[in-house]
Amino acid sequence: MDTRTALDEIGEIVGISISTVLRVLPDPHNICTKVRTCVQQAVQETGYQSTDYTLSL
């Protein structure tokens, strides 16, 4: 059984840890531009839906 989540996919695509993904999603302005851009792109690719994150974009 595959227990991967959209957050796992985002982390894998960007090449960062889940903890970093979780730090970026609530407040992407506190993370370096390169990581923020990569996570934003991965969010689009995976279709991840988070009200907090989409409002902060």
Q: Write down the pTM of the prediction.
A: 0.44
| pLDDT score recorded for residue 50 | 62
Per-residue pLDDT of the chain (57 residues; tens, 9 = 90+): 456 677 777 778 777 777 877 777 766 566 677 777 877 887 787 777 665 544 444
Nearest to 26 by CA among 41, 13, 36: 36
Dist CA 44 CA 40 (whole Å): 6
* Domains of the chain, start order: 6-56 (1.10.260)
| pLDDT score recorded for residue 51 | 54
DSSP structure class, residue 25 = T
DSSP structure class, residue 30 = G
